[in-house]
Copies of this chain bind each other. A is one copy, B any other.
Amino acid sequence: MSEDGERGDNGRVPRKQAAPRRKLLMSEILEQATQLFAERGYDGTTLQDVADAVGLSRPNLYNYVRSKEELLVAMVEATSQEAASSLRAMRQRADLDPTQKLRALVRELVLQRANNPAQFRTLDRSEQALPSDIAERHLDSRRAVLREITGVLDEGIVAGLFRPLDSRVTALSIIGMCNWVAWWFHPAPAHPAEPVAEQIAADAVAMVVQVDKRRPSAPTPLGAVALLQQDLDYLARLLRVED
């Protein structure tokens, strides 16, 4: 690949290499750092430990991460900030109604947690070790996720598609369902995350959807007549039981 030709004489990977390769190595660095933080704690881990685990020289690692703090920043970016920005993008899609949006948001959040469970939990555990500016970014992203989900619930309630519920409490419950995946789901080829994400998304929709209004499948006189037919059958059955 062309970026190999750009390698300097000192053997360092230049900063301007192709984005996909950089992203891949960065994700490996984060994964190893997460593992080390979990085993030895944040304070008990050095950048040299991270370089050794990834199999990079320390000067080489410096091309990606210059301090332990930067590792935390990268974790915040990869977990809470990425979640917030992809949820924001989905919420703005004009082609989806609130039900479809909620399903998409939950699916996305579950997949993010299922694919990086250790990172999410390590970040959660290190919250008190985060420098205040990074903690602020992390909190901002968490608030953004809450805002997007609360917003979709409010849209659905106004449209009469969702029950008139307390959207904040329900949004926090939905976030809890998604985040908890990091505690119990172990990604493996035999256990793909997609079916789990699909079911949790369907459960979240079922939780909020308006069913009291007994809408027929089609809002037409024929649809209403179909409802009448069902209910007459039901009445007849009840009267037969009473006889």
Give residues in A with beta carbon < 8 Å to B.
Answer: 38, 125, 128, 163, 165-166, 169-170, 172-181, 183-184, 196, 199-200, 203-204, 206-208, 211, 214, 216, 219-221, 223-225, 227-228, 230-232, 234-235, 238-239, 242
Q: Which residues of B contact A181 (CB under 8 A)?
A: 172, 176
- Residue in B183, B184, B220, B242 whose beta carbon sits within 8 Å of that of A221 in the complex: B242
15 contacts between A and B (CB under 8 A): A170-B203, A172-B180, A173-B180, A173-B203, A176-B179, A176-B180, A176-B183, A179-B180, A203-B207, A214-B230, A219-B238, A224-B235, A224-B238, A227-B231, A231-B231
* Alpha-carbon distance A165/B128, docked complex (angstroms): 38
* Alpha-carbon distance A241/B241, docked complex (angstroms): 38
Residue of B nearest to A146 (CB): B184
Given contacts A221-B235, A231-B228, contact A177 B184 (CB under 8 A): no
The residue among A183, A223, A224 with the most chain B CB atoms within 10 A of its own CB is A224
Q: Which residues of B contact A199 (CB under 8 A)?
A: 165-166, 169-170
